[in-house]
Structures are given as C-alpha cells and as structure tokens.
Amino acid sequence: MTAHATHSVIGTAGAEGIDDVEAYMQRLGQAARHAATAMRRVDTASKNAALAAMARHLEAARAEVLAANARDLDRGRANGLDAALLDRLALDDARLQGMIDGLAQVAALPDPVGEIDGLRAQPSGIQVGQMRVPLGVIGIIYESRPNVTLEAASLCLKSGNACILRGGSEASESNAAIAECIRRGLDEAGLPSAAVQVVATTDRAAVGRLISMPEYVDVIIPRGGKSLIERITREASVPVIKHLDGVCHVYLDASADLEKALAIAVNAKTQRYGTCNTLETLLVDEPLAASLLPRLASAYAEHGVELRGCERTRAILGDGVVPASEADWEAEYLAPVLAIRVVDGVEEAMAHIERYGSRHTDAIVTENYSLARRFMTEVDSSSVIVNASTRFADGFEYGLGAEIGISTDRLHARGPVGLEGLTTRKYVVFGDGQIRS
C-alpha cells in the first residue's frame, strides 16, 4: 500500500516565511509528525521505489547539483574555509556516483519494519511478541559533507521514519539541490514530501528549536565534532543518540601470535588516522615488550607515526620516544601519533582501558581461550574485539549495510547504528477473546 502526500511541501526549497524561525521550525515539525504517521503504513516496495526514483532524479540533476556545490565552494573559499573543510564540502562526478550507488545499496537492505520477534504463547492463552516499528521523526544535525543529506534521508526513509535534516550552512546550496531530488523521488513514489525535510535556513536558532520540540521530534542524531555534540546533548529536551570520543586500545598479550599482534597493531593505527575507531593507545604485555616493541617501532616509523611511551617503553625504545603524560592516555589524537604503555598482564590492561578509555572500541590479541573470553566479557565498550583490527568497528564491516553513525551511548543503540537502530519495538498481542482474571 502507498500513503498519499496530503501535506504541502514545506521548507525543502523556498525561503517562504523563514523570517520567523520559530514558526518555520514548528511547521516543519508538524508536517514531519503527520508524515511519520503516513510512513508507518508504507510498504517496502514503495520505499524502495522512492529510493530508486531519487537516484534517477539525482542522475538527471547531476549538473545542477555540481553547479550548486561549486557556488558553495566559491563562497567557502571567499569566507576563508580551510582546505580540509573544503574537501569535505566538495562534490565531483565520483562522489555523486557514490551517492547514487548508495541509494541502490539502501534499497537492497532488508526492511526492518514489521519484523516480529519472540512471538510466544503465554499461560493465559494470548500470544505475545515484539514488532519492529519506525522511531517516528528523526532530527539529524550535521556539518559540511553534503552527501550526508542523501545518506541520512535514505536510511530514515527505508526504516519508515520521517526526518528533518539540518546541514552545515557552508553546504546550503548543495543541500537544497539534493533536497529537490529527494522531494521529486518522494513525489514520484507517492510518499509524503514531508517525509524528508531539509531545513532551508542557516539561522542557528533553527537548531535550538529542532532539539526542543519533543512533541514533533522523537530523537536527535548529531553528526560532527565533539563540541557540537556536547552542546546539543546539553541543550536538547529530545533524546539524543550521540557519538563522543573514540579513545581505542589494542592490548597485545604475552600469549599473542606475534605476527597477528604486529599486523593488528599497525593496521589499527595506520589504516586511517582520522576515524573514531583508530587505535590511540597500544598496551603491550611486559614479556612481549623487549622483542616486539622494536619491530613495532620500525613499522610505525615507516608510516611516520610519532610514538609517546611510558617509562618502560622508553627503556626499550630509547629516548627518541616522547615521554607520555596523563594527557596522552586520554588523547584521541586522530593523527599519526600513538601512545604506548607496557603493562603487566590483562588485568592491568583492562584497568587502564576502564580508567582512560572512552568505551568505544577495544581489542585484545591473544591465543589464550580463557583470556579472550574474559576480555570479551569484562571490557565495557561498544565494540570488544579479539584478534582483529579496531578499524572493523563500522556499520558496513559489521554487516549492517550502512550506518547513520556510531553510538557511544548505552541506551537504545550502542556501537554502529544501522537501520535497526532507527526503529523501536512495540508489543503485539494476539488473543482469541481472552480476559484477565
């Protein structure tokens, strides 16, 4: 079945009425709430049809989207944005193709909505299970990358939610052009236009309003720097699914296979420096240190990684290694810098992780069955890994198909958040006239 659009398009393109940001956001919220009700009835085929239609419209609008992006880039250069930010902002044919392909990938994912788990008969005769349903209205606040607009829209749509997207002001023209393709796709598939709304004002008051309308918005997902996320979490009256730091550890136990230890320790640090699942502090079991640390140091040197070590590390590697301070154990470098500490066994390693870690992703390398089992049970991180690189902590690598982010929260969703994390479960009860006595 298909829900028909019953609400006018608000806020995806024009600037109508945006002088009054409060009222504008309220209209977006109301329209999203109505759209969410309609979206609950939409079947998988209609959602996939909308994704396919969006891909066609984006394909057809390549030139317009790139032109809009060029205007954003020009403005950004004029405003003195730095090169890294301009790079995140920039679209080209390859990135656009990636976005178009991403829509097909989301369409190919299984639809989580409607799945019923654990349906069991109870002593009263009723059958009780839990049905997966959309969360409702999702507000997403992000920064410069315009491809997030399409990614977030496609994941929210596939999971049956309505969403309100607030991108960075530096990407406003790109986002408006992409929003127009999304709107055409929704229209073509007969879905409500307000299922995906892109906030069309760069006024920062819009964010303040978005995070304080629990009557219209069920959850906020901020994507961006830590300060943005902390501010939103502090000020929001709507629940937030958030990602803070990734201070990730690899512990190399004396029982490790040395080749695996070396490969994992190097990969976890050097495969990419700027990601949240990158290794930041390496913990080395004392019996391994003398033989392994020099080999590790030369591998890291090849990659240009600066090492900061504890006293025992420096006793082995020499004074070339910068002494590590307390701040180093807490650092999320996101850079070719690595803290190294020699520890006495798994107990001390776990105590270090408990004290300094951010509960994101932590790994052990060991061939010892009981140690692996213990680390797995006792380390309290969103991903706990035995004998593999921390860089695997990712929605695609975990088989979620895509991710809207990685949650460092404990409630609701923890770790990579895919379609399932954008849903909730309600109880369903099948009876045959049962009453309670």
Choose among 313, 255, 318: nearest CA to 281: 313
Residue 12 token pair? 């995806």
Q: Does 219 bind its own copies (CB under 8 A)?
A: yes
Q: Does 319 bind its own copies (CB under 8 A)?
A: no
Residues between 327 and 356 that touch its own copies (CB under 8 A): 354
Q: Does 4 bind its own copies (CB under 8 A)?
A: no
Q: Does 399 bind its own copies (CB under 8 A)?
A: yes
Q: Which of 11, 29, 416, 418 binds its own copies (CB under 8 A)?
A: 416
Question: Which amino acid, one-letter code, is at 236?
Answer: A
Complex with its own copies: residue 92 or 257, whichever CB lies closer: 257
Return the C-alpha torsion angle 362, 367, 373, 379, nearest 10: -20
* Shortest distance (Å) from residue 105 CB to its own copies: 14
Q: Does 431 bind its own copies (CB under 8 A)?
A: yes
Complex with its own copies: residue 31 or 73, whichever CB lies closer: 31
Residues ≥6 apart with Cβ < 8 Å to 386: 363, 364, 365, 366, 372, 375, 376
| Coil/strand/helix, residue 103 | helix
* Shortest distance (Å) from residue 264 CB to its own copies: 6
Complex with its own copies: residue 4 or 436, whichever CB lies closer: 436
Q: Does 218 bind its own copies (CB under 8 A)?
A: yes
Return the C-alpha torsion angle 340, 344, 348, 349, nearest 10: 40
Complex with its own copies: residue 33 or 145, whichever CB lies closer: 33
Parallel/antiparallel/unpaired status of strands 337-343 and 306-309: parallel
Choose among 44, 138, 43: nearest CA to 422: 138
* Shortest distance (Å) from residue 409 CB to its own copies: 8
Question: Which amino acid, one-letter code, is at 295?
Answer: R
Residue 359 Rama label (left phi>0; alpha psi -120 to 50; beta): left
Q: Residue 185 CA to chain centroid, in angstroms?
A: 24
Per-residue string for binding with its own copies, 33-52, x by CB under 8 A?
----x--xx-----------
Interface residue list for its own copies (CB under 8 A) = 37, 40-41, 114, 120, 122, 124, 126, 128, 131, 133, 135-136, 218-219, 234, 237, 239, 241, 257, 259-260, 263-264, 266-268, 271, 354, 363, 376-378, 380-389, 391-393, 397-399, 409-412, 414-416, 424-437
